[in-house]
Structure 1
Amino acid sequence: MSSSVRLDPESQAPLDQLLQFLPGGFNAVPDIVARRATVEQMLASMPAPENPNVVSEDRAVPGPEGEPDISVRIYRPVGVDGTLPGIYFIHGGGMVLGTVAGEDATATLVCDEVKAVVVSVEYRLAPEHPHPAPVEDCYAGLVWMTEHADELGIDPERIAIHGHSAGGGLAIGTALLARDRSGPRLSFMMPIYPMIDDTNTTASSMEITDVGIWDRDANLEAWGWYLAGNEPDQYAAPTRAQDLSGLPPAFIDVGTADLFRDEDIAFAQRLMQAGAPCEFHVHPGAYHASETFAPEAALSRRIRALRMDALRRALA
């Protein structure tokens, strides 16, 4: 890691504890099935408190044409009447990890804070299911959500797409598919520190090598599995999109110690140049997903507050 990278001390403490428990971080577990089990075990050891303000249910919905059904988890705020905004939620995990259950606490928080119906999608993962399976699953789930807006109590004019990391990249890829297929109309997108550049040539992608959370080697491995030797397109790696016009207003944020920092800065600038209003934040001292690993840090509280405020304003 470059000597120029500085971590927020309050956020670094839980990261140090994680690395003591698992030297080298998650990607030190070479087998992807064992790695997923390790991540799930860690998440299970940090259960979120029950939130009485939110109820959820799981459903199976149609996947892409000719492909299996996908599952979604639908979150509703309790005691809030009327038609509500909708948020389509895509979990992270580098295209190779992650589940709806693993980000249940975040989706619940979004539902409660924004007072929106949240639909979280369980998409297929690489390497078993490389591109385009994940983004096509995400698109199919979005189509189902918008086609069932009345049933779900969602205002079709107030639908946002939201995702973290790989979920952020998939959110942008799904938004591009929706634009290019004349599909669901999105009013807002919130890709959080999105994974969008397969080239791994930015300064930050070379600089972040041993923070312990999504470093360069992990990113190279994940992109290799996700693309499976095929030529990437804009729906896999949105930085390859030549035309960003017609995308919804956006909110993007990233930390200074996040490998995705420079690709996200460049993409936010291109969105603005293409005429898409984009609120963009770079958080000094934040590493990848630091608000998840250090939820009580003052930096994490500021990050979450900015995101929730942006969603409320966009969907008001």
Structure 2
Amino acid sequence: MALSNRKPSMDAELRKGLENVSLPAISHATPEVIEMMRRATATPPSYLEDLKSQGISHREVRIPKKDGSNSEIILSILQPVSESNKPRPCMYWIHGGGLHWGDRLHTLEFPSDVVLEYDAICVSVEYGLAPEHSLSEALEDCYAGLEWTSEHMEELGIDANRLMIGGSSAGGLLATSTALLCRDREGPVLCAQCLICPMLDDRLSTASCQQYTENSDFLPSSLFEDVWKSSLKKDRESSSAGIIIPGRIEDLSRLPTTYLDVGSAEVLRDDVVAYASKLWTNGIQAELHVWAGGFHGFDIFLPDVAVSQASRKAKMAWVKKVFGSNQS
């Protein structure tokens, strides 16, 4: 029997929720799909006003890329409107979108909650999207933004002991890879990494990758195959040494404490579980949650269902614990 016929089913409340929302069935990252998703995930002009109404201020900083071009990287800095007389913790956030769509203000619900509930700062980076930009270029954008943040912590009012990196899906991939760069380059010191359903391995060879392949599955493995192939194309053609694919790396020592979560009914499940196991093997403290019946990004698409609320509660509790234990 094919693995696609033997797989954990989607949570009943999530399945019902999907039936009631108009989400496109995407099985491949064609140019038409990429363009459609870029339009669909573009941040509306009203979003910044929405943040302000929640008590969150926003400003932009532009920093030069380090590739010798005249291009810039945009960072969005979010923090509570209220003043603080002490340094705040910071979450450096990298957005998802399959490396091909989304922007720095896309799916900021979780980091915005962190800003408000824990009197924190969020710095969200705009990185170059594929296929126009390679994976290594996107990674260097993320690293440059983190490096700038680390160098300006006093000016920004950030507690140097509470700089956390985080990201969801493709953002989780870039957050993981950026943390590895910090280790290898002896760069910014991170107190933790928060990885939400991260893309970790381009090989897509696990059982869960083979289970969720059909067009009827939400975000099947064929879509992930396409976005990996497209984002790695330029790097592989140029034999770039800048590619970091976390799932292929065995030495995960000297990394910060880690939070990982993933759904049991999604393509990336087994890659995330394997990465958590490798972290433990390397002596790294890691907290792993596999949410029963969760599909990829379930907590973003359907935040009000029970499993999404449980996921949010677990993430927020972990962030609170990390920020509390590292307070200066």
Structure 2 unaligned segments of length 5 or more: list them: none
Question: Quick one: which amino acid aligns to residue 9 of structure 2?
Answer: R
Question: Quick one: which amino acid aligns to residue 224 of structure 1?
Answer: K
* Distance in 2 (alpha carbons) for counterparts of 1:296 and 1:239: 31
* Distance in 1 (alpha carbons) for counterparts of 2:243 and 2:255: 13
Aligned match for 1:259, one of 239, 256, 267: 267
SS of corresponding position for 2:9? coil
* Distance in 2 (alpha carbons) for counterparts of 1:47 and 1:3: 42
> Cα distance 1:106–1:232, how it changes in 2: closer, same or farther (>3 A)?
farther
Deviations 1:11-34 (Å, cap 9, x if unpaired)?
22232234x563x23747652552
For 1:249, the equivalent position in structure 2 comes to 257
Aligned residues: 313
Deviations 1:245-267 (Å, cap 9, x if unpaired)?
01001000101012110000000
* Distance in 2 (alpha carbons) for counterparts of 1:238 and 1:285: 25
Cα contact 1:89–1:121 (8 A) shared by 2: yes
SS of corresponding position for 1:287? coil
Calculate percent identity across the aligned residue pairs: 34
Aligned match for 1:199, one of 198, 203, 206: 203
The range that moved more, 45-54 or 219-228, is 45-54
> Cα distance 1:28–1:70, how it changes in 2: closer, same or farther (>3 A)?
closer
> Cα distance 1:160–1:302, how it changes in 2: closer, same or farther (>3 A)?
same
* Distance in 1 (alpha carbons) for counterparts of 2:217 and 2:47: 22
For 1:36, the equivalent position in structure 2 comes to 37
Aligned match for 2:132, one of 123, 128, 133: 128
Deviations 1:208-249 (Å, cap 9, x if unpaired)?
124554211110100110110616878531011121001001
**Do residues 215 (structure 1) and 220 (structure 2) align?**
yes
Aligned match for 1:78, one of 70, 75, 81: 81
**Do residues 283 (structure 1) and 291 (structure 2) align?**
yes
Deviations 1:75-128 (Å, cap 9, x if unpaired)?
112325110111100001111121112223333222112321110001001111
For 2:19, the equivalent position in structure 1 comes to 16
Question: Quick one: which amino acid aligns to residue 37 of structure 2?
Answer: R
Give me the TM-score of the superposition, normalised by structure 1: 0.91
> Cα distance 1:307–1:232, how it changes in 2: closer, same or farther (>3 A)?
farther
Question: Quick one: which amino acid aligns to residue 244 of structure 2?
Answer: A
Aligned match for 2:111, one of 107, 125, 131: 107
Structure 1 unaligned segments of length 5 or more: list them: none
Question: Quick one: which amino acid aligns to residue 14 of structure 2?
Answer: S
Cα contact 1:163–1:171 (8 A) shared by 2: yes
For 2:5, the equivalent position in structure 1 comes to 2
> Cα RMSD over matched residues?
2.4
* Distance in 2 (alpha carbons) for counterparts of 1:271 and 1:245: 7
Aligned match for 2:312, one of 304, 308, 314: 304
* Distance in 1 (alpha carbons) for counterparts of 2:255 and 2:221: 29
